[in-house]
Amino acid sequence: MQPDVFTHRASGPHEPLRTFHPRRSPLGTDRADALTRLFPRWGFSVDDPRVPPPRTRDGWLDPLALYGRDAPLVMEIGSGMGDATAAMAAADPGRDWLAVEAHLPGVAALLLLVERLGLTNVRVAHGDALRLLRADVAPGSLDAVHAFFPDPWPKARHHKRRLVQPAHVALLRDRLRVGGTLHVATDWADYAEQMRDVLTADPDLVGGVVPRPAHRPVTRFEQRGLDLGHDVTDVVVRRVR
């Protein structure tokens, strides 16, 4: 049984639309054990006040208390099973990584990777990344934001739920430092066009479509899309003011 601290809070009638599909999947013994042992050490909840993030006096997320050092902070929105996050954090130990994932199997899988690889620069938040950004992340505090293969919401009537749209991008940009980067990727062609158009339309962001940067690993999810013949598009923009 999943611990009740990890139950999802339902979206209320006046809350923003979710950009992900809430779902439940069996954890299995190893992942359930990871949540019990490792989440109190390296995780916190976006929604549950019993497992809050450390905060500054001003009420913002406190990276110094979370990581024990003052280093550039990267947020991974929708870290999935955590393989890309763990690989990038291991290759870039000078930055700290905050993975935000709404689905418990992914949270648990990343915690196991952090333990196995001995990573000290990764923390995991369970819940909605946009809610965390609005309520807890200080403006100008992030060195980078990554959103790799967010839910494409392929039906036209659901496009309003996509992560990359002007209002959300404005929030992401506000949380970046000047000079910080926003990197998104998708294997859905029409979503790639939307990502490019929305990001390049923001006057405070510069950049565009780029070849896959070497530092972004090819995940199992991405490889499945490639095997199906999907083209993958990366868009990287930088905050200029």
Residue type, 59: G
What single DSSP character describes residue 160? Answer: G
In a domain, 49, yes or no: yes
Give the model's confidence band at 89: pLDDT under 50 very low, under 70 low, under 90 confident, else very high: very high
Lowest mean pLDDT segment, chosen from 129-133, 220-224, 229-233: 220-224
pTM, two decimals, is 0.89
How far is residue 78's CA from residue 20's CA, in Å, rounded to a whole number? Answer: 9
In the sheet that 205-210 helps form, which strands lie side by side, from edge to edge? 43-45, 122-126, 96-101, 73-77, 142-148, 176-186, 233-239, 205-210
In a domain, 111, yes or no: yes
Integer angstrom CA distances of residue 119 from 67, 90, 186: 11, 7, 27
Hey, which residues does 148 pair with through a beta bridge? 185
pLDDT of residue 27: 85
How far is residue 147's CA from residue 150's CA, in Å, rounded to a whole number? Answer: 6
pLDDT of residue 3: 44
Lowest mean pLDDT segment, chosen from 92-106, 121-135, 216-230: 216-230
Catalytic-labelled residue, pool 33, 62, 92, 151: 151
The answer to whether residue 151 is catalytic is yes
Residue type, 239: R
In a domain, 53, yes or no: yes
Q: Are 144 and 177 in contact (CB under 8 A)?
A: no
Lowest mean pLDDT segment, chosen from 10-19, 68-77, 224-233: 10-19
What's the domain count of the chain?
1
Q: Which CATH number goes with the domain that contains 210?
A: 3.40.50.150
Give the number of other Cβ atoms within 10 Å of residue 190's Cβ: 12
Tokens 């929030």 — which residue?
A: 171
- Confidence check: pLDDT of 6 > 80: no
In a domain, 27, yes or no: yes
Q: How many residues does the chain have?
A: 241
More confident residue, 49 or 1: 49
In a domain, 60, yes or no: yes
What would the pLDDT profile of 44-72 be if each residue is shown by its tens digit?
A: 999 999 999 999 999 999 999 999 999 99
Which residue range(s) make up the domain with 205? Answer: 22-239
In a domain, 115, yes or no: yes
In a domain, 8, yes or no: no
Q: What is the mean pLDDT of residues 101-121?
A: 97
| End-to-end alpha carbon distance in the chain | 48
In a domain, 7, yes or no: no
- Confidence check: pLDDT of 123 > 80: yes
How far is residue 223's CA from residue 219's CA, in Å, rounded to a whole number? Answer: 6
Lowest mean pLDDT segment, chosen from 13-22, 44-53, 179-188: 13-22
Give the model's confidence band at 220: pLDDT under 50 very low, under 70 low, under 90 confident, else very high: confident
How far is residue 185's CA from residue 235's CA, in Å, rounded to a whole number? Answer: 6
Q: Are 121 and 93 in contact (CB under 8 A)?
A: yes
What would the pLDDT profile of 153-182 be if each residue is shown by its tens digit?
A: 999 888 999 999 999 999 999 999 999 999
What does the mean pLDDT of the chain come to?
91
